[in-house]
């Protein structure tokens, strides 16, 4: 069997050995969601998985199977959950999934876990799942289980933003199917992008409130919130590296902080 | 009985009359949460309620009893849920509360509702509650129920920010128990603020990830994420007015948009 | 900041201090429910809150924010949940709310809590919430958390009943929007009562069973189950005092009983 | 196969035939609960079942299998749920059971159902189950499903009480394992009663509040809340007849009321 | 009171005594389900109950009230849940019921429990209920609670099958309302079988997949999946004895295995 | 972008087009589960996914992202859920996931769906998820949504079994990590198998009942229930082909049956 950081690709004795030596478990959490006419619907799973593998190879960690379905797309961050192709879970289902899985890794002996989020709307329901898992683990007398929760784009530095968006950064808010995700996909999975179909409309603008049911006209017909016309594989490489670097440092810092009374 | 926009203060025939003429129902959603040593623990309820009353008096709407307990405080927006005094609900409990209440107002005949959020962490669980309510209302053959979801601080304009924070805006992220909330409380409920106890430490800084269980040392001992030393009642008045104005316009726009095929 | 027994009006250090010295936490639990054409819809919240404050000032306790929405109104105790204005929660939502809040006060360090019920239909779902909280607290190794559950009207003595109802007591069953609640509101919140609109119909009578869906004709059109024509502010004062006195004694007795092996 | 009103004893074609001609379905709902040292733990199931059969034979109805486990015993009505033998469900489990079963009978074509309660603490959770079932049946476009909810002891008339308790009626509150239930069991299932073990202590008295966890000393050691020393089979016969008569009339009245716009 | 192994027929002191000496608790779990035109709808409850009593009398155990409603009938094992008379629970309701009851018997002091299943479709939801109960019991610091889960027909030996089905065994899959259940009912409850109505159609055959909603034509109109024409009371006696014998041995073995490190 | 039957690899307009022309959606449902020392832990996901792709390419269907975590491993079919590496969901979480996803595909317009199961223990919880989804879809007025549920190994014909197991078929029951799964993995993902580590112990044997908590000694230390020593890639090819062929025929038959009144 090949060497791998991917849990699913290991036989259980090797997995047990690595957990036994304290390797962290990284869990990508994504979505099946439309990302415009130029890109496949799986970037929210593929990107945190690839970043997770990159991180795991650097720090000696394990990557769990991604949570492949996420919380409902919101209009101002993903176009809205009325769109065809977007396939989402109720919040409680997602929180329960996170809870159940975290407890299982704890049962195996894992004590350091990281959720790598690839879908904006997942965050709070993942946070709730973590809280519920930690609560039940306390009841199991497990008190040293630590979870880092992060979204990979939060590790893109200002310097990188300046290089990626020389024409000015529109904000993560409208980066759905935009330059960030498209560049990363061009770098990692170019056959899942067709730049000839990239929408070129202006970035979507929204009022400072949400309306339910969604007013569908507010979402561009493409499903993208901004144009990925300036996406390139080179930018993707740059983004990938800065995210992997940032998360590598973050995990070292976070897992140490715990043992050092909060001081990194 | 006195004139009132507050639902709880109306006898049912008057309430039924107003619902019958199409008045929107505004529902404040807050929290019981520590807000530093200089302020009471109820601003997340009092502020959206006061703003709701201000809006209701302008547009002819009704204000429902506030949802008084909210979702768990997060470290980077409220200091964390380990803090004494902060009293929170599980996510599913909060979503269910929102769902149940929305469906009841729909049963009464209300068709335009607005959730006015006063506690950052509530947003996604309120969104889920709205989605669940709309789903069940469809099953009841109610298809014209419209919910606006907003957080009042999103209506503070850049011009106002410039006036409130002449020394530079630290971002909403660290505005927990800071200038915004304290100024509003000084304006609306001055007896619930004691400026002699305002912490003066620097704004908290956090890494781009979260750790669970919370690393308690990362939250300032005061429970505030930034200093409210520059808060004044005048700023509070300014903030209150800009929020009420903004929400008044938002609701007019949103409730019209629906009937106009999305065009405000 | 003003002196207060109201938790929401305290800054967290003062709250923590009081919890630290063992002050009990009193939680009003009410409803938004129609109470006839002569009275506002919030007495089930306002009355237990006022009584709670009265008790807290006497025994050195704290009053939490009221649970403002309650269980579904039943025909024979509140007219039925089909009535306009009555805004209720599913049973599980209410039990979960009670559970979550109790656990939070326990986390703060509170060990003596009292639920002061103002809405008849809440009782069993509050009881369930208490049981679920105690169960989970056991799992957290908290074994000394004590909850008193009461409905304020159960403290009206026979002597008081004789004075309040010289014409004969119709039973609590039909006291919805009747003399008890109306008198208390006249005493505490007179501007929320309009005696010119008091219904004067005879007390409702019901068969010894319930029918679902509600047979609407069985509820008087006023929404009241008996007439409040004999309500007065003086009776309200009397009722308020007897309830506060009774609950003060009850809590002293109950919290002592625990430590004395059940002997008051 | 023998003639029977008991659903479980019918083959499906006969059951389908009776449902097809509009026979009501009566569902006993009981508990497994200690009832003192002189009586078996199943009266809350056996009594409503026997009464249900008696009613069904009179009006041409069907009796469903009893719900054999009920809600948690409360101290003031059943001694408390800490007692050995008492075996109870969480509230949500009981409500869900009631909901699921009601919907199934509706699927078969039943439109008139009656829950015959034999365990005081079940009432509100059964009511919730009914409400949830009616809600989901509306979503299935079933709008003519009618449920009567009753507890059999509510049909004991004042005249009967005077005959059963010549020494004065202590109130239903303390009738747990007392004269009512014991007499009915002596009439219906005498081999499940041993009058030589009847406790003779005075009726339990309780303060006007509940304490959780239960203060165990407040419940008589026997588990009974009053003495059944005066129970006889003759009283049981009397009670049985008055309950069956009362429920027969109630169901005729209730099922008619619906079709008559609420007028019996 | 008569001697009994049936928990419901015991007064609590006798029940407590038997639990105190370590008697196992056997819980029949069945269903209300159509079983063809020749048989009542309660065999899934009556059969495991009778077998449970037989086992209990042999090994000194107790029989709890049966769980009388089970999981939804599946087409290939029970004809499907669309059939009239079949009255089923949602999976979560059934699992919760099993969980709640197991925890109560543990609270009483029972440490050895056996679920005797009489309805094929119950198995996995009972398994889940057991797992949830064991989890919560761990949280209660109960670590020695042991549950045996079995379906009675799994104890019919090959030798018995050869005697019961001399014409060849069609497999348990189509034994719904067939020779096994009908023979057992003829032995135990002959008045609930009418052999003149036995269907004589060939055994149902199904493809290796399931379709939802059920394709109703695939289920024989009788509701039986095979013919019970060859059923006799003598076969029923034989089946009853082999099941009781097998379960008696199984429980001795299983409860010993635990204490012997897994070696029977 | 490359041609694909994999939903995640399509841009939404192409996905919408295919759904629009009526392509079925195939959803693999697997598990992360130990499969012995010689094989990776992901065969329950990889095998139904590969088979799903094979089927989809033959009939013009789409393959959804696999449900990557399944129900708890049972001792007699997967060794038990106490084993390291096995990572499972609570039953309700799995049913909710299936429900949520099915409803989303229905929202997109899909009307023919197939769940391809790769993990024995998933079946009943998937069935429940399907039933819950169909119920809620009825409430959405969707009445023509059809779900086929199957486990791929049920399509291995007797003829194939005879070729795969010339030494005699041990039964699917002990085929966990055995010849079937290992051969398929050797055919499809040979780098995830290491035949040098195949256990050679005899097939596990179990009594006709289950014990909880699991008696760990009953599971072979390898985690396999039988030896895969006779597995080959050629057998894997044979198995793959017979499963794909069988499912292709099944789906044609099933989707036609519906429109033909049940007659294939």
Please give the pLDDT value at position F55: 98
Determine the structural domain holding residue D56 and report its residue range: 7-259
Please give the pLDDT value at position E260: 56
Cβ neighbour number for residue B123 with a 10 Å cutoff: 20
What value does the mean pLDDT take over residues F35-54?
98
Give the position of tokens 């060939």.
Answer: E202
* pLDDT band for position B256 (cuts 50, 70, 90): confident
D196 touches E10 (CB < 8 A): no
Where residue A116 sits, what CATH number does that domain have?
3.40.50.10310
Q: Is residue B246 part of a domain?
A: yes
What value does the mean pLDDT take over residues C57-65?
98
In the residue annotation, C176 being an active-site residue is answered as: yes
On whether any CB of chain E is under 8 Å from the CB of D69, the answer is: yes
Q: Which tens digit of pLDDT belongs to each residue from B172-205?
A: 878 899 999 999 999 999 999 999 999 999 999 9
On whether any CB of chain F is under 8 Å from the CB of B92, the answer is: no
Tell me the C-alpha to C-alpha distance, in Å, between residue D264 and each of A181, B248, D238, D250. Answer: 69, 51, 27, 10
Structure tokens at E10: 């015991």
Please give the pLDDT value at position A1: 80
Output helix, strand, coil percentages for chain E, rounded to the nearest 5: 50, 10, 40
Q: Which residues of E are catalytic?
A: 33, 35, 44, 119, 121, 176, 181
Q: Which tens digit of pLDDT belongs to each residue from C181-224?
A: 999 999 999 999 999 999 999 999 999 999 999 999 999 999 99
A101 touches A135 (CB < 8 A): no
Percentage, residues of chain A above pLDDT 70: 97
How many domains are there within chain C? 1
Does D258 score more than 80 pLDDT? no
**Set F38, F175, F176, F187: catalytic member:** F176
Q: What is the pTM of this model?
A: 0.97
Does E139 score more than 70 pLDDT? yes
Termini Cα distance of chain B: 38
Instruction: State the Cα angle at F65 between F62 and F71, rounded to 5°.
Output: 125
* pLDDT band for position C256 (cuts 50, 70, 90): confident
Structure tokens at E51: 């077998």
Mean pLDDT over the full length of chain B: 95
Q: E100 CA to chain D: closest CA distance, Å?
A: 5
Phi, psi of B27 (to 5 degrees): -115, 110
* pLDDT band for position E216 (cuts 50, 70, 90): very high
Q: Chain D contacts of F138, Cβ < 8 Å?
A: 139-140
On whether any CB of chain B is under 8 Å from the CB of A152, the answer is: no
Tell me the C-alpha to C-alpha distance, in Å, between residue F196 and each of B91, B137, F229, F233. Answer: 49, 60, 9, 15
What value does the mean pLDDT take over residues B210-235?
96
Structure tokens at B178: 């800071």
Structure tokens at B95: 């979503």
Does B92 score more than 80 pLDDT? yes
Q: Is residue B156 part of a domain?
A: yes
E6 touches E94 (CB < 8 A): no
Q: Chain D contacts of C148, Cβ < 8 Å?
A: 209-212
Please give the pLDDT value at position C259: 57
Structure tokens at E45: 């409850």
Best residue of D135, D140, D143 to probe chain B, by most B CBs closer than 10 Å? D135
Please give the pLDDT value at position C78: 95
Q: Do C95 and D92 touch (CB under 8 A)?
A: yes
Q: Is residue D264 part of a domain?
A: no
Query: Which residue among F38, F40, F100 places its CB closest to the CB of A8?
Result: F40
Residue burial C198-231, b: 16+ Cβ < 10 Å; e: rest: bbeeeebeebbbbbbbbbeebbbebbbbbbbebb
Cβ neighbour number for residue A72 with a 10 Å cutoff: 26
Q: Is residue F1 part of a domain?
A: no
Q: Chain B contacts of C96, Cβ < 8 Å?
A: 89-90, 92-93, 96
Does D57 score more than 60 pLDDT? yes
DSSP A115-157: EEE-SGGGHHHHHHHHHHHHHHHHHTT----EEEEEEGGGG--
Best residue of E93, E96, E139, E142 to probe chain C, by most C CBs closer than 10 Å? E139
My answer on whether omega of the bond before B164 falls inside 30° of 0, hence cis, is: no
Q: Is residue B2 part of a domain?
A: no
Q: Which tens digit of pLDDT belongs to each residue from D224-242?
A: 999 999 999 999 999 999 9
Q: Which residues contact B183 (CB under 8 A, 6 or more apart)?
A: B164, B228, B231, B232, B233, B234, B235, B236, B238, B239
Q: D139 CA to chain B: closest CA distance, Å?
A: 5
Residue burial C106-125, b: 16+ Cβ < 10 Å; e: rest: bbbebbbbbbbbbbbbbbbb
d(CA F114, CA F91): 20
Q: Which residues contact F107 (CB under 8 A, 6 or more apart)?
A: none
Please give the pLDDT value at position A164: 94
Q: A258 CA to chain C: closest CA distance, Å?
A: 22
Q: Do B209 and A257 touch (CB under 8 A)?
A: no
D138: exposed, middle or buried (C-beta count within 10 Å: 0-12, 13-18, 19+)?
Answer: middle
Helices (H) and strands (E) in chain A, counts: 8, 7
Q: Which residues contact D260 (CB under 8 A, 6 or more apart)?
A: none
Angle between helices A43-59 and A233-259 (to 10 degrees): 60
d(CA A147, CA A154): 17
On whether any CB of chain D is under 8 Å from the CB of B139, the answer is: yes
In the residue annotation, A121 being an active-site residue is answered as: yes
> Which residue does chain B place closest to F136, by CA atoms?
B139
Does C231 score more than 50 pLDDT? yes
Q: Is residue A50 part of a domain?
A: yes
> Which residue does chain C place closest to A136, by CA atoms?
C139
Q: Is residue F174 part of a domain?
A: yes
DSSP E144-191: --EEEEEEGGGG--HHHHHHH-TT----GGG-TTSHHHHHHHHHH-GG
Q: Is residue A264 part of a domain?
A: no
List all chains that touch chain B, counting a touch as 3 or more CB pairs closer than 8 Å.
A, C, D, F
Q: Which tens digit of pLDDT belongs to each residue from F111-150?
A: 999 999 999 999 999 999 999 999 999 999 999 999 999 9
* pLDDT band for position F264 (cuts 50, 70, 90): very low
> Which residue does chain E place closest to C139, by CA atoms?
E139
List all chains that touch chain F, counting a touch as 3 or more CB pairs closer than 8 Å.
A, B, D, E
Q: D239 CA to chain E: closest CA distance, Å?
A: 22
In the residue annotation, C175 being an active-site residue is answered as: no
* pLDDT band for position D172 (cuts 50, 70, 90): confident
Q: Which tens digit of pLDDT belongs to each residue from E84-131?
A: 999 999 999 999 999 999 999 999 999 999 999 999 999 999 999 999
Q: Which tens digit of pLDDT belongs to each residue from F76-101?
A: 999 999 999 999 999 999 999 999 99
A76 touches A206 (CB < 8 A): yes
d(CA A116, CA A55): 10
């Amino acid at each position: 069997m090949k060497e791998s950081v991917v849990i699913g690709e290991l036989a259980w004795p090797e997995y047990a050995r690595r957990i036994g030596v304290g390797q962290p478990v990284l869990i990508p959490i994504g979505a099946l969601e439309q990302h415009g006419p130029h890109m496949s619907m799986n970037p929210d799973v593929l990107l945190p998985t690839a970043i997770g593998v990159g991180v795991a190879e650097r720090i000696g960690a394990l990557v769990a199977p991604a949570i492949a379905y996420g919380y409902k797309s919101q209009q101002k961050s993903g176009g809205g959950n009325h769109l065809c192709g977007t396939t989402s879970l109720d919040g409680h289902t997602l929180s329960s999934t996170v809870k159940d899985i975290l407890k299982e890794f704890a049962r195996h002996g894992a004590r350091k876990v990281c959720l790598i989020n690839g879908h904006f709307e997942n965050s709070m329901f993942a946070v709730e799942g973590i809280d519920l898992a930690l609560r039940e683990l306390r009841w199991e007398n497990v008190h040293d289980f630590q979870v880092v929760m992060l979204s990979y784009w939060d590790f893109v530095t200002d310097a990188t933003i300046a290089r990626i968006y020389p024409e000015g950064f529109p904000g993560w808010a409208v980066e759905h199917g935009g330059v960030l995700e498209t560049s990363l996909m061009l770098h990692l999975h170019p056959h899942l992008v067709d730049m000839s179909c990239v929408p070129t409309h202006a970035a979507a603008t929204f009022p400072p409130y949400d309306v339910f049911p969604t007013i569908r006209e507010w979402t561009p017909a493409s499903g993208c919130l901004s144009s990925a016309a300036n996406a390139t594989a080179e930018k993707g490489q740059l983004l990938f590296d800065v995210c992997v670097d940032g998360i590598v440092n973050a995990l070292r810092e976070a897992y140490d902080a715990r043992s050092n009374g909060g001081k990194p």
